[in-house]
Amino acid sequence: MPSSSQKLGSNHKRIARSINFKFEIEISDTFLMDDDKFKVLLVDKDPQLLRRLTEFLSDRGFAVKAETSVKSARSRLFEWHPKIVLSDLILSDGSGLDLLKLIQHESSLQHDFTTFMIMSAHSQRANVRQAIQSGVDDYIIKPFDLDDLLNKFVFHLQNFRQIPTINKKDYNQTDEASLFLHLTDLLLRQALKGLSLENTLFNLVQMVSLKTKGVRCNVVHCVEDEKGTIVTSNDDRNASGININLNRYPEILHVRNTGSIVVIENIDKNKNLRFIKQHLKSIQFNAIIVCPVYKNGEFFGVLSLRLPENHNFFTDNELRFIEICSHVISMVLSSQNYGENSNYWLKSA
């Protein structure tokens, strides 16, 4: 079984176009019957990579089939109807995006399908942006860590809760309008107290954590494509300046790529995900919300909040409060009043 700490995709061998390679592995386990497993279709021209991915994912509760070309993958899509497709960008007879277009235009393929992911050694931001705009759900840069890949699978298999943005919500009802104004007033009062930027941001995430009983509330600055830096954290003021690998946080990457709020709730409700989750030490929660944060109109990073494992859902009021806080944090970060301290977390990184 491949080690989960090992990176895959770093040593590709060129495969002759004439090779017709195909294999299938489905390992049953005592917890999930084959019919209950999430179906994953892997498409890549490297048979060694496919073997290792198939073994790793099968051992963790997925049903896996693998193909090496667009042509064979097309046939597999129609006969097997996978839930996830993970395809290399460049294949011997076309592009992984050709498979995505097929799914987008064939209604018969959309019944069970939820996620299309591209893997590629081409890491330029323009390539990632183009793929996301084409409808790709995630772009995985080779080489990648197996646990990071599993984390992304679990993330994309969630049923995301749709949250309407504040400026589109109807506040005609008196109770709703009063609550909205009250929450905004609380956050603005905190933001305008005249404290240092560091203390202001820390107090804001403290307010969010206390109101929601969250176990961890962070502001993360997305510094580079794969690098983030913690700006502030409610549970540890010394966390400021700590760098994180964004590949381990698919929820942050999703918000960065789409600009939308991510809300995931009640992970343990699904027995398939519950079985898969036991292989991931990084998932110690059942509910999480991640909101985009902006600085001077440009994407800056995220505000994220995790609830304890025994707390499965956010109330509507909690969601609204957290979203308002993300707007206030954006306003604070965009302020010109902090001078040399405006990037204090980078100086301590």
- Mean pLDDT of the region 72-88: 96
Predicted confidence (pLDDT) at residue 71 exceeds the cutoff of 90: yes
* pTM of the predicted structure, to 2 decimals: 0.76
Residue closest to 153 by CA, chosen among 64, 25, 48: 64
How high is the pLDDT of residue 22?
Answer: 35
Whether residues 253 and 323 share a domain: the answer is: yes
Model confidence over 275-307: pLDDT tens digits? 555 655 555 567 889 999 999 999 999 999 998
Whether residues 178 and 100 share a domain: the answer is: no
How high is the pLDDT of residue 137?
Answer: 93
Distance (Å) of CA 70 to CA 3, 28, 95, 128: 29, 28, 7, 20
The domain boundary residue, chosen from 109, 134, 156: 156
Residue 57 inside a domain? The answer is yes
Whether residues 62 and 195 share a domain: the answer is: no
Residue 2 inside a domain? The answer is no
Q: How far apart are CA 46 and CA 88, in angstroms?
A: 9
The domain boundary residue, chosen from 135, 156, 177: 156
How high is the pLDDT of residue 129?
Answer: 87
Whether residues 105 and 185 share a domain: the answer is: no
How high is the pLDDT of residue 278?
Answer: 60
Of the listed ranges 124-138, 183-197, 222-236, 305-319, the one predicted with least confidence: 183-197
CATH of residue 28: 3.40.50.2300
How high is the pLDDT of residue 30?
Answer: 41
Total tally of structural domains belonging to the chain: 2
Residue 282 inside a domain? The answer is yes
How high is the pLDDT of residue 126?
Answer: 85
Predicted confidence (pLDDT) at residue 120 exceeds the cutoff of 90: yes
Model confidence over 220-267: pLDDT tens digits? 999 998 899 999 999 999 999 999 999 889 989 999 988 999 998 876
The domain boundary residue, chosen from 132, 156, 180: 156
Whether residues 340 and 275 share a domain: the answer is: yes
Whether residues 140 and 240 share a domain: the answer is: no
How high is the pLDDT of residue 112?
Answer: 80
136 compared with 188, residue with greater pLDDT: 136
Of the listed ranges 48-62, 181-195, 205-219, 329-343, the one predicted with least confidence: 181-195
Residue 149 pLDDT level (bands cut at 50, 70, 90): very high
Residue closest to 73 by CA, chosen among 106, 90, 54, 96: 96
Q: How far apart are CA 116 and CA 139, in angstroms?
A: 9
Q: How far apart are CA 308 and CA 288, in angstroms?
A: 9
Whether residues 134 and 248 share a domain: the answer is: no
Q: How far apart are CA 45 and CA 75, in angstroms?
A: 16
Predicted confidence (pLDDT) at residue 13 exceeds the cutoff of 60: no
User: Mapping DSSP to helix (H, G, I), strand (E, B) and coil, where does residue 189 land?
Assistant: helix
Residue 213 inside a domain? The answer is yes
How high is the pLDDT of residue 15?
Answer: 32
Question: Is residue 308 reached through a cis peptide bond, with omega within 30 degrees of 0 on the bond before it?
Answer: no
Residues in CB range of 85: below 8 A, 6 or more apart: 40, 41, 43, 73, 77, 99, 100, 103, 113, 115, 116, 117
For residue 96, give its domain range. Answer: 7-156
Of the listed ranges 70-84, 131-145, 175-189, 235-249, the one predicted with least confidence: 175-189
How high is the pLDDT of residue 286?
Answer: 73
Whether residues 27 and 76 share a domain: the answer is: yes
Whether residues 31 and 172 share a domain: the answer is: no
Residue 180 inside a domain? The answer is yes
Q: How far apart are CA 337 and CA 196, in angstroms?
A: 9
How high is the pLDDT of residue 123?
Answer: 84
Q: What number of other Cβ atoms are within 10 A of residue 223's Cβ?
A: 17
Whether residues 151 and 171 share a domain: the answer is: no
User: Mapping DSSP to helix (H, G, I), strand (E, B) and coil, where does residue 48 land?
Assistant: helix
Whether residues 191 and 315 share a domain: the answer is: yes
Whether residues 207 and 334 share a domain: the answer is: yes
How high is the pLDDT of residue 124?
Answer: 84
Residue 161 inside a domain? The answer is no
Q: Which position has the token pair 């989960």?
A: 4
Predicted confidence (pLDDT) at residue 24 exceeds the cutoff of 50: no
Phi and psi angles of residue 240, each rounded to the nearest 5 degrees, phi first: -60, 130
Residues in CB range of 320: below 8 A, 6 or more apart: 166, 179, 180, 183
